[in-house]
Amino acid sequence: MKVMLVAVPLMEMHDGELVPISMDRIKSSPPLGVYWLGGVARRAGHEIDVLDLIALGRVDVPLILRRAGKADIVGISCNTLNWPTARIVAQHIKQAYPELPLIVGGIHPSSYPEHVLHSCPADYIVRGEGERPLVALLEALEGKRGLDTVPGLGYWHEGVIRLNPDLGLASIDEVENLPDPAYDLLPAEIYETLSIESARGCKFKCTFCSTKFLGSWRGVSAENFVNRLERLMPYVERTRYGVFSFIDDLYTLDIERVPRITELILQRGLKVEATLDARATDIIRGRVAEALAPITNHMLIGAECGYDEGLKKIAKGCTTQVLERAAAILNDVGLSRQVVFSFVIGFPFETRDDCLKTIEFASNLLVKHNVRIYLQWYNTIPGSILWDELAAKGLVNIGMYDDFGFFSNPYLFRSGVQLPIDEIKELSEIIQSLNTVLLFTQPADDIIQFAPPEWLWSNDTVNFPSHGVLKDGVRPESPPRLKHSDVAGLVGLHREPDKRRLPMLRPDGC
């Protein structure tokens, strides 16, 4: 069979036109799932076509229909945030080719199978990890087995939705024996990095997180991972930066495996640079930080809260002391400028003072240890424990994510962030003013990355630049209610006046 697999971008409507947003706007890394499923289907003897609309940067309907018209089956992969795009693509394909089998898979149909089957014209949805169900479904469509034997399959049968039992999670052996992704179909010079996976799942269950397979972690062996890395080296050259993206939710959990991977990379003389996610509780253990130093291009650490009570409420399994130690260690091994600590303010349980504690802690982490900071307002994501709590109260429902606009929807924002509007504005202004001061210490750096919701601001509110560039070299004026000196005091930045002239100059003078 000829199998067409479609990757769809995160998009939003601007001035009547759909445009890619977030990581899909900059084309950060290719969608590993679609390319990996392509490799699986090819090994099973099928012809594959990957239509990567993220790389294309638009929903090109004539192109989609032209390619779909040559296929025996079409599969669309989606999560909740790109679900509206997936629905549009599915509708166009089924309208043009009503008899063409259409599958939708990914975390969104896995989490909300009945809703997906009710709200889009897919013939089938696949729940869970897709490698085994895809091969089984192709066999069923060839008449080699019944649909009722395909694991994880959802479909309409005599007017009723039927959901077949799934096989559970793939074993480590099964993951290790997967074929390589079909990166021979990857367009050149489009993506910044090349996606690769060394582990699936996360052993933790943070209440705000909608990551797949929470409570489980399956890491392949160091040897297996580096073997795959070596085989994919020719394809990393197709990226703009020649960098791998380790897309694991938790790369650093096995503190013996991390040094072994780096050791094998160095022994084989592989020139590997990678972006990766790490956990502070791992950074402080064993030789993890030292092992990461030779291969890290960019590292993200989800810190989330700047006070211990908040970390406990979101079940982070971490403390502010651990975060501080991790930042200090990363600075010591020379990684601080490649590391971003990501914080969230406005959890449903948080007050203004709670948010200020996080801003204060994050700011001091930056000043003391030279790391970079992401600060973001809490975003209610379907599939998380906090989302389920809000849904149980009737405040949100999954249908709110069927159409474009939820990224900028004030109601969805306010369903999670339950502070008064004036406090949301005040906190946003504090962060922006704080960043403006820091821009004078390192004007070429993204020191604090922060983007408040656009609808929050009225026309007469000053919106500070947040990416290191001051318009025409002129320092903007502060909002009337805040002065830069007030900001430093309000967030509790600790400094030594006799050593610094600027309120938030870093200890090393950078």
- Residue 391 or 246, more confident: 246
Show the beta-strand stretches assigned E in 127-221: 153-157, 160-163, 193-196, 199-202, 216-219
Residue 210, pLDDT score: 80
Enter the DSSP assignment of 254. Answer: S
Q: Considering its fold, how many domains does the chain have in total? A: 1
Over 60: is that where the pLDDT of 310 sits?
yes
CA 376 – CA 416 distance, rounded (Å)? 13
Among the listed residues 276, 280, 247, 281, the one whose alpha carbon sits nearest the alpha carbon of residue 262: 276
Residue 441, pLDDT score: 60
- The answer as to whether 116 is a domain residue is yes
Q: From the CB of residue 118, how many other CB atoms can be counted at a distance below 10 Å?
A: 11
- The answer as to whether 283 is a domain residue is no
**Residue range 501-508: mean pLDDT, rounded:** 26
Only one residue has tokens 């200890």, namely 507
Range of the domain at 30: 2-163
Q: From the CB of residue 328, how many other CB atoms can be counted at a distance below 10 Å?
A: 17
Residue 462, pLDDT score: 32
Residue 452, pLDDT score: 73
Name the pLDDT band for 447 (thresholds 50, 70, 90): low
Over 80: is that where the pLDDT of 278 sits?
yes
Q: What is the separation of C-alpha 371 from the centre of its chain, rounded to a whole number of angstroms?
A: 20
- The answer as to whether 93 is a domain residue is yes
The amino acid occupying position 249 is D
**Residue range 34-49: mean pLDDT, rounded:** 97
pLDDT in tens, 376-409: 999 888 988 998 998 898 888 999 999 998 888 8
Residue 348, pLDDT score: 93
Mean pLDDT of the chain: 86
| Angle at alpha carbon of residue 303, lines to 442 and 129, rounded to 5° | 120
pTM: predicted TM-score of the whole model, two decimal places: 0.86
Show the beta-strand stretches assigned E in 210-362: 216-219, 243-246, 274-278, 296-304, 339-345
Over 50: is that where the pLDDT of 505 sits?
no
**Region at 8 (left for phi over 0; alpha for psi -120 to 50; beta for the rest):** beta
Only one residue has tokens 């392509």, namely 38
Residue 152 class from Cβ within 10 Å (0-12 exposed, 13-18 middle, 19+ buried)?
buried
Quote the percentage of the chain above a pLDDT of 90.
69
**Residue range 167-184: mean pLDDT, rounded:** 94
Helices (H), 97-208: 107-111, 113-119, 131-141, 172-176
| Angle at alpha carbon of residue 2, lines to 178 and 141, rounded to 5° | 85
CA 245 – CA 192 distance, rounded (Å)? 9
- The answer as to whether 224 is a domain residue is no
Q: What is the separation of C-alpha 230 from the centre of its chain, rounded to a whole number of angstroms?
A: 25
Enter the DSSP assignment of 78. Answer: -
**Residue range 157-177: mean pLDDT, rounded:** 93
Min mean pLDDT across 454-463, 486-495, 497-506 is at: 497-506
Instruction: For residue 323, give Cα distances in angstroms to 58, 342, 354, 366.
Output: 40, 11, 17, 12
- The answer as to whether 74 is a domain residue is yes
Over 60: is that where the pLDDT of 468 sits?
no
**Region at 152 (left for phi over 0; alpha for psi -120 to 50; beta for the rest):** left
Query: Residue 369: enclosing H or E segment and its boundaries?
Result: helix 352-369
Residue 455, pLDDT score: 77
Which sign does the torsion angle of CA 266, 271, 277, 283 carry? Answer: positive
Enter the DSSP assignment of 418. Answer: -
- The answer as to whether 24 is a domain residue is yes
The SS3 call for residue 317 is coil
Instruction: Write phi, then psi, for 469 (nearest 5 degrees).
Output: -125, 120
**Residue range 424-436: mean pLDDT, rounded:** 85
Over 70: is that where the pLDDT of 467 sits?
no
Instruction: For residue 483, give Cα distances in angstroms to 420, 476, 501.
Output: 22, 12, 16
Q: Are 92 and 18 in contact (CB under 8 A)?
A: no
Residue 393 class from Cβ within 10 Å (0-12 exposed, 13-18 middle, 19+ buried)?
exposed
Report CA Rg, the chain.
24
Among the listed residues 380, 382, 412, 379, the one whose alpha carbon sits nearest the alpha carbon of residue 115: 382
Enter the DSSP assignment of 145. Answer: S
- The answer as to whether 100 is a domain residue is yes
CA 364 – CA 284 distance, rounded (Å)? 19
Min mean pLDDT across 38-42, 104-108, 110-114, 449-453 is at: 449-453
**Residue range 159-167: mean pLDDT, rounded:** 94
Only one residue has tokens 């000053």, namely 462
- The answer as to whether 396 is a domain residue is no
Residue 456, pLDDT score: 78
Strand pairing category for 243-246 and 193-196: parallel
**Residue range 212-224: mean pLDDT, rounded:** 85
Residue 222, pLDDT score: 98
Query: Residue 12: enclosing H or E segment and its boundaries?
Result: strand 11-14
Enter the DSSP assignment of 214. Answer: B
pLDDT in tens, 335-345: 998 999 999 99
Check which CATH number belongs to the domain holding 142 and give it. Answer: 3.40.50.280
Residue 245 class from Cβ within 10 Å (0-12 exposed, 13-18 middle, 19+ buried)?
buried
Those residues whose C-beta lies under 8 Å from the C-beta of residue 392, and which sit 6 or more positions away, are: none
